[in-house]
Amino acid sequence: KQWYQRRVAITAGDIKFNKSGKCAIIIASNDVDKTGASYYGQTLLYFISIRGESNQIVLKKNGPVYSVEWNPQRDEFIVLYGFMPCKGTLFNVKCDPIHEFGENHYNEILFNPQGNMVGLCGFGNLRGKIKFYDTENNKLLSDFVAADATFFEWAPCGDVFITGTLSPRLRQDNEFKLWDVSGKILHHYQVPTDETQLWQLMWINPATLLPPPVVPRPATSKEIAAGKPQAYRPPGSRQGPAAATRSLLPNVQGGVYKPGSDAQRNQPSRQAQKNQRKRENRAKQIEDEKNAVPEPTMQDLQSTIVDEREKKVRNLKKKLHQIEKLKGQVAQGKTLEKNQMDKIASENDLIEEIKRLEL
């Protein structure tokens, strides 16, 4: 009743339901910002549930709401809000803030299908900043940049994802990249010419839900520092490393150039220096080829997923074998502990789980 009384003053823009469908977040807009902070009005968030609960979610920073997303496996949600750099906050189902992700240039929240990892991203008109967190303990896993990305989608396995630069948002340098959550590029495809454009990306035959992937270790401070933004370079000059500058002055003595001096005579000629650099680069290239580690293919990633599922099935069958032993003890008239009886009662659930994993 309280919600419908408030409804006359706002315009609902979007509704986000949790997994069970029993709770929802309403993203509403008000034509007039009473604080005077914005000419375009105010964005408000309301929580409602089937039990009749309703209240406004209190945000700690003024400004628009960029994104609101529920964890697909838990009754928790994240909100990105406030003037840039925006603030990211994790709320529980009681609308209490339980974790702050700090301030940065984000506009999207991207949970993986299993809900054990989340990415806070800045795409579109932002630079492509991505930070991944472990949702179990909210620790930072990685921090890197996917430049010029206009598209993002998780793989069904939940530990790799794809980004793309697509038309019509950007009509030049269209490409897509396959990443893992550490920020490593597993595959990169760029369209041959600017006349060819990339319009859409999607995963073929995605599974309904695979087992949760293993969460990688959190990134170290050294790794995070290595991924800090570099100086801007135009798209056409990003294929190779930035050109290094070199001095064109001749070798001098005491700051004065002297023709025929020992300093000039002892200096190798430009051609000799060029040949020396070629030899060094070639030796380095041969050494890199020897030490190169082949990048994992999609087949390797799929086999890893299958191994995880087989391991889980073996563990479940081991529990069923233990249950059979306990049932034998019951048949012999032995009295079991409560936890042992609970294990016997879970037999049907274990069988259903094995069937699902063996599909």
DSSP assignment string, 48-93: EETTS-EEEPP-SS-S-EEEEEE-TTSSEEEEEESSSSEEEEEEET
CB atoms within 10 A of CB 50: 10
pLDDT, the chain, mean: 77
Where residue 126 falls (left for φ over 0; alpha for ψ -120 to 50; beta otherwise) is beta
Cα gap 274→267, rounded to integer Å: 13
* pTM score over 0.85: no
pLDDT at 167 over 60: yes
pLDDT at 354 over 70: yes
Quick one: pLDDT band at residue 280, thresholds 50, 70, 90? very high
Average pLDDT over residues 35-51: 75
Give 69-95 pLDDT, tens digit per residue: 888 888 889 998 888 888 899 998 888
Tell me how far the alpha carbon of residue 359 is from its chain's centroid.
28
Average pLDDT over residues 238-254: 46
Beta bridge partners of 235: none
Average pLDDT over residues 16-28: 85
Average pLDDT over residues 310-326: 87
- Stretch (H or E) spanning 287: helix 270-291
pLDDT at 337 over 60: yes
- Stretch (H or E) spanning 139: strand 139-145
